[in-house]
Structure 1
Amino acid sequence: MNHRTIDLKLQQQLELLRDAMDGEFFFSLSDRLMYATDASAYRELPLAVAYPRNKEDIKKLIRFARDHKTSLIPRTAGTSLAGQVVGHGIVVDVSKHMTRILEINKQEKWARVEPGVILDELNLVLKEHELFFGPETSTSNRCMMGGMLGNNACGAHSLVYGSTRDHTIEVSTILSDGNEAVFGPLSNKEFETKCHGDTLENQIYRNISGILNQPENREQIKKEYPDPEIKRRNTGYAIDLLLNTQPFKAEGELFNFSKILAGSEGTLAFTTEIKLNLVDLPPKHKALVCVHLESIEDALEANLIALKHKPVAIELMDKAILDLTKENIAQNKNRFFIQGDPGAILIIEFAAKNEQEIHEKAKFMENEMRNQNYGFHFPVVTSTDIPRVWALRKAGLGVLSNMKGDAKPVAVVEDAAVHPRVLPAYIKEFVEILKKYNKDCVYHAHIATGELHLRPILDLKNPDDVQLFHQIAKETAYLVKKYKGSLSGEHGDGRLRGEFIPIMIGEHNYQLLKDIKNTWDPDHIFNPGKIVDTPLMNTSLRYQPGQQTKEIETVFDFSNDLGILRAAEKCNGAGACRKTELVGGTMCPSYMATRDEKHSTRARANILREFLTHSAKKNPFDHQEIYEAMELCLSCKACKSECPSSVDVAKLKAEFLQHYYEEHGIPLRSRIIANIATINLLGSYLPVVYNFINQNPFLAKLNAGILGFSKKRKFPLLSSRRLEKWLVKNGQYASKEYPNGKVYLFNDEFTRFNDADIGIKTILLLNKLGYEVIIPKHLESARTFLSKGLLRKAKQIANKNVALLYGIVSDETPLVGIEPSAILTFRDEYPELVDNALKEESKILASYALMIDEFLEREMKAGNISKEAFTSDRRKIKLHGHCQQK
Structure 2
Amino acid sequence: MTDLDGAAPHPTADPTDPARLTALRGALAAAVGGGADDVDFSTTARALNTMDASNYRRVPVGVVTPRDADDVAAALAVCRAHGVPVVARGGGTSIAGQATGTGVVLDFTRHMNRILALDPGSRTAVVQPGVVLDRLQEAAAPHRLRFGPDPSTHGRCTLGGMIANNSCGSHSVAWGTTAANVRALSALTYRGEPLRLGRDWAGAPDGLRALVEGELALLRTGFPDLPRRISGYALDALLPEQGADVARFFCGSEGTLGLLTEAVVTLVDAPRARALAVLGYADEGAAADAAAGLLPFGPLTVEGMAADLVPPDTGGLPRGGAWLFVETGGEHHEEARARADAIVRAADALDALVVTDPAGQRTLWRIREDASGTATRMPDGSEAWPGWEDCAVPPARLGAYLRNFRALLTEHGLRGTPYGHFGDGCIHIRIDFDLIGADGVRRFRSFSEDLARLVVEHGGSLSGEHGDGQARAELLPRMYGPELVRLFERTKALWDPDDGLNPGILVRPARLDENLRFTPLPREPVDVAYGYPHDAGDFSAAVRRCVGVAKCRTTAVQPGDTAVMCPSYRVTGEERHSTRGRARLLHEMLAGGGIGPRPGAGGGSGSGAEGGSGAGPDGGGSTGRTPVDVVITDGWRSTEVLDALDLCLSCKGCRSDCPVGVDMATYKAEFLHHHYQGRRRPAAHYALGWLPRWLRAAAALRLAGPANAATRIRPLAALAKRLGGLAPEREIPRLPRETFRQWFGRRPAVAGPLPPAPDPEGSGPGAGQGPADDLTLLWPDTFTDHLSPEVGKAAVRVLQDAGRRVAVPPEGVCCGLTYLSTGQLDRARAVLRRTLDLMEPAGLGRPLVVLEPSCASALRTDLPELLSDDPRARRLADSVRTFAQALEEQAPGWRPPRLDRQVVGQTHCHQHAVLGDAAERRLRERAGLTGALSGGCCGLAGNFGFERGHYDVSVACAEEQLLPSVREAPPGAAVLADGFSCRTQLEQLSGVRGRHLAELLAEGLAERDAPTGADGDGGAH
TM-score normalised by structure 1 residue count: 0.88
Q: Indicate the SS of the match to 1:31.
A: helix
Deviation at residue 257 of structure 1 after TM alignment: 2.1
Q: Indicate the SS of the match to 2:910.
A: coil
Identify if the C-alpha distance between structure 1 residues 697 and 742 changes in structure 2 by more than 3 Å, giving closer, same or farther. Answer: same
Q: Indicate the SS of the match to 2:654.
A: helix
Identify if the C-alpha distance between structure 1 residues 719 and 128 changes in structure 2 by more than 3 Å, giving closer, same or farther. Answer: farther
Question: Paired residue for 2:648, among 587, 608, 633?
Answer: 633
Which residue in 2 is equivalent to 1:329? none
Does 2:824 correspond to 1:795?
Answer: no
Structure-2 separation of matches of 1:470 and 1:682: 63
Deviation at residue 119 of structure 1 after TM alignment: 1.5
Which residue in 1 is equivalent to 2:361? 386
Which residue in 2 is equivalent to 1:736? none
Q: Which runs of 5+ in 1 are unaligned?
A: 195-200, 327-331, 734-738
Deviation at residue 588 of structure 1 after TM alignment: 1.4
Does 2:249 correspond to 1:260?
Answer: yes
Which residue in 2 is equivalent to 1:350? 328
The residue type paired with residue 285 of structure 2 is E
Q: Indicate the SS of the match to 1:828.
A: helix
Which residue in 1 is equivalent to 2:893? 864
Which stretch of structure 1 is more off in the superposition, 47-56 or 14-23? 14-23
Question: Paired residue for 1:490, among 453, 459, 465?
Answer: 465
Identify if the C-alpha distance between structure 1 residues 530 and 364 changes in structure 2 by more than 3 Å, giving closer, same or farther. Answer: same
Deviation at residue 117 of structure 1 after TM alignment: 1.7
Identify if the C-alpha distance between structure 1 residues 19 and 679 changes in structure 2 by more than 3 Å, giving closer, same or farther. Answer: farther
Does 2:265 correspond to 1:296?
Answer: no
The residue type paired with residue 284 of structure 2 is I
Structure-1 separation of matches of 2:844 and 2:697: 33
- Percent identical among aligned pairs is 30
Q: Indicate the SS of the match to 2:905.
A: coil
Does 2:659 correspond to 1:644?
Answer: yes
CA contact (8 A) 2:145 2:270 kept: yes
CA contact (8 A) 1:224 1:504 kept: no
Q: Which runs of 5+ in 2 are unaligned?
A: 1-13, 598-634, 751-771, 913-1021
Question: Paired residue for 2:816, among 782, 785, 789?
Answer: 782
Identify if the C-alpha distance between structure 1 residues 856 and 130 changes in structure 2 by more than 3 Å, giving closer, same or farther. Answer: farther
Which residue in 2 is equivalent to 1:234? 230
Which residue in 2 is equivalent to 1:747? 780
Does 2:544 correspond to 1:549?
Answer: no
Q: CA RMSD in A?
A: 2.9
Structure-2 separation of matches of 1:548 and 1:99: 38
CA contact (8 A) 2:151 2:167 kept: yes
The aligned runs of 1:326-337 (5 Å cut-off) are 326=312, 332=313, 335-337=314-316
The residue type paired with residue 747 of structure 1 is P
Does 2:723 correspond to 1:727?
Answer: no
Deviation at residue 637 of structure 1 after TM alignment: 0.6
Identify if the C-alpha distance between structure 1 residues 722 and 66 changes in structure 2 by more than 3 Å, giving closer, same or farther. Answer: same
Deviation at residue 447 of structure 1 after TM alignment: 1.2
Question: Paired residue for 1:854, among 880, 885, 890?
Answer: 885
Does 2:576 correspond to 1:598?
Answer: yes
Identify if the C-alpha distance between structure 1 residues 835 and 637 changes in structure 2 by more than 3 Å, giving closer, same or farther. Answer: closer
Deviation at residue 223 of structure 1 after TM alignment: 0.8
Which residue in 1 is equivalent to 2:41? 27
Does 2:727 correspond to 1:710?
Answer: yes
Q: Indicate the SS of the match to 1:287.
A: strand
Question: Paired residue for 1:464, among 439, 446, 452?
Answer: 439
Identify if the C-alpha distance between structure 1 residues 306 and 740 changes in structure 2 by more than 3 Å, giving closer, same or farther. Answer: farther
Structure-1 separation of matches of 2:297 and 2:99: 40
CA contact (8 A) 1:740 1:864 kept: no
The residue type paired with residue 575 of structure 2 is E
The residue type paired with residue 864 of structure 1 is G
Deviation at residue 160 of structure 1 after TM alignment: 0.8
Does 2:24 correspond to 1:13?
Answer: yes
Which residue in 1 is equivalent to 2:496? 521
The aligned runs of 1:314-333 (5 Å cut-off) are 314-322=302-310, 325-326=311-312, 332=313
Which residue in 1 is equivalent to 2:506? 531
Deviation at residue 284 of structure 1 after TM alignment: 1.5
Q: Indicate the SS of the match to 1:53.
A: coil
Deviations along 1:529-560, one digit per CA (max 9) or x if unpaired, are 21112121211111239x76222222211243
CA contact (8 A) 1:407 1:458 kept: no
CA contact (8 A) 2:27 2:78 kept: no
Length, aligned pairs only: 832
The residue type paired with residue 60 of structure 1 is A
Question: Paired residue for 1:624, among 635, 639, 645?
Answer: 639
The residue type paired with residue 753 of structure 1 is H
The residue type paired with residue 281 of structure 1 is A
Structure-1 separation of matches of 2:180 and 2:773: 64
Identify if the C-alpha distance between structure 1 residues 154 and 557 changes in structure 2 by more than 3 Å, giving closer, same or farther. Answer: same
Identify if the C-alpha distance between structure 1 residues 104 and 656 changes in structure 2 by more than 3 Å, giving closer, same or farther. Answer: same
Structure-1 separation of matches of 2:719 and 2:198: 62
Which residue in 1 is equivalent to 2:628? none
Structure-1 separation of matches of 2:245 and 2:210: 16
Q: Indicate the SS of the match to 1:401.
A: coil
Q: Indicate the SS of the match to 1:674.
A: coil
Identify if the C-alpha distance between structure 1 residues 592 and 362 changes in structure 2 by more than 3 Å, giving closer, same or farther. Answer: closer
Structure-2 separation of matches of 1:499 and 1:560: 35
CA contact (8 A) 1:743 1:772 kept: yes
Which residue in 2 is equivalent to 1:313? 301
CA contact (8 A) 1:732 1:773 kept: no
Does 2:90 correspond to 1:76?
Answer: yes
Which stretch of structure 1 is more off in the superposition, 785-794 or 29-38? 29-38
Structure-1 separation of matches of 2:841 and 2:170: 51
Deviations along 1:143-181, one digit per CA (max 9) or x if unpaired, are 111111111111112111211111112222233232433
Deviation at residue 404 of structure 1 after TM alignment: 8.4
CA contact (8 A) 2:337 2:356 kept: no
Deviation at residue 406 of structure 1 after TM alignment: 10
Deviation at residue 369 of structure 1 after TM alignment: 5.1
CA contact (8 A) 2:736 2:787 kept: yes
The aligned runs of 1:90-489 (5 Å cut-off) are 90-185=104-199, 204-214=204-214, 217-227=215-225, 230-243=226-239, 248-249=240-241, 253=243, 255-293=244-282, 295-307=283-295, 309-322=297-310, 325-326=311-312, 332=313, 335-338=314-317, 342-353=320-331, 362=340, 365-366=343-344, 370=348, 375=350, 377-383=351-357, 384-403=359-378, 408-489=383-464
The aligned runs of 1:669-684 (5 Å cut-off) are 669-684=684-699
Identify if the C-alpha distance between structure 1 residues 127 and 854 changes in structure 2 by more than 3 Å, giving closer, same or farther. Answer: farther
Q: Indicate the SS of the match to 2:53.
A: coil
Structure-2 separation of matches of 1:541 and 1:633: 28
Q: Indicate the SS of the match to 1:11.
A: helix
Deviations along 1:818-853, one digit per CA (max 9) or x if unpaired, are 2110122111111112362x42x3323323312223
Deviation at residue 756 of structure 1 after TM alignment: 2.2
CA contact (8 A) 1:799 1:835 kept: no
Structure-2 separation of matches of 1:774 and 1:436: 60
Question: Paired residue for 2:715, among 698, 705, 709?
Answer: 698
Structure-1 separation of matches of 2:285 and 2:909: 43
CA contact (8 A) 1:44 1:86 kept: yes
Identify if the C-alpha distance between structure 1 residues 32 and 718 changes in structure 2 by more than 3 Å, giving closer, same or farther. Answer: same
Deviation at residue 856 of structure 1 after TM alignment: 4.2
The residue type paired with residue 593 of structure 1 is V
CA contact (8 A) 1:413 1:473 kept: yes
TM-score normalised by structure 2 residue count: 0.77
Structure-2 separation of matches of 1:356 and 1:746: 53
Which stretch of structure 1 is more off in the superposition, 10-19 or 383-392? 10-19
CA contact (8 A) 1:442 1:457 kept: no
Q: Indicate the SS of the match to 1:386.
A: helix
CA contact (8 A) 2:69 2:261 kept: yes
Deviations along 1:504-532, one digit per CA (max 9) or x if unpaired, are 23333323322222222222222122111
Identify if the C-alpha distance between structure 1 residues 597 and 405 changes in structure 2 by more than 3 Å, giving closer, same or farther. Answer: farther
Deviations along 1:772-817, one digit per CA (max 9) or x if unpaired, are 3333225232111000001111112222223333464688x63222
The residue type paired with residue 315 of structure 2 is F
